[in-house]
Amino acid sequence: MSLSLYGHPFSSYTWKALIALYANGTRFEFRGVGEGTPEHDAFVAAAGPSGKFPVLRDGEVTMFEATSIIEYLNRNHPGPAPLLPADRDEAIRVRMWDRVFDLHVMDVMQEIVFEYIRNPGNPDPAVRERVEARLDRSYRWIEGWLETYAQRDRVTLIACAAAPRLFYAAWVYRIPANCPRLQAWRAHLLALPPVVRCVDDARPYRHYFPLGAPDRD
């Protein structure tokens, strides 16, 4: 099989690419990293400047960065789930919202994750306070955006980005009661078959979460 995805089942960025592959029933081989497969680790390390996963290999083509992988799949391995709209202006807006979930949800929550990795016994409470305030602001913005978002049920680049980000961010700071649309959309995303598959495959690795995985989801 020429199409291979390198990544880790617990990685939210790996989920992002996997959701796109699963939604379209795309045939591929998953090649795990960090699990006694040094050849996979070496390939990922050489694929991009940061040496991070996921990485997609399609014959002689190598793609890194999850959003770029999804763009590549949408063009070269299309399926029943249109990951990006054909209209160019609408596609730009979809990419903008993709950035919201990567930069204003995932990157924010990673700050507290890294703090617990650096200081597992004594994390700085100021970092948690800052992260929770920023996540609260992002949640409230997304709550307002959802009022006009008409494609909540479709698996697009937006769902591929939102599902893993909201999954892990809510472990750090739960979505508050004053964001009912966002609470409902997160629950809906986690019930989508491609996302369920990612959640289930990641369960054996929950002990890796530095803050401790909650007994839910």
Q: What is the pLDDT of residues 10-23, one digit of tens each?
A: 999 999 999 999 99
Q: Where are the domains of the chain?
A: 88-193
Residue 211 has pLDDT above 80, yes or no: yes
**Quick one: fold of 88-193?**
Glutathione S-transferase Yfyf (Class Pi); Chain A, domain 2 (1.20.1050)
pLDDT tens for each residue of 135-166: 999 999 999 999 999 876 789 999 999 999 99
Q: State how far the Cα of 176 lies from the Cα of 133, in Å rounded to an integer.
A: 12
pLDDT of residue 1: 57
Q: Within 10 A of 17 (CB to CB), how many other CB atoms are there? A: 29
pLDDT of residue 2: 86
pLDDT of residue 36: 85
pLDDT tens for each residue of 3-54: 999 999 999 999 999 999 999 999 999 999 987 899 999 999 999 999 999 9
Q: State how far the Cα of 106 lies from the Cα of 126, in Å rounded to an integer.
A: 19
Q: Token pair for residue 142?
A: 């997304």
pLDDT of residue 22: 98
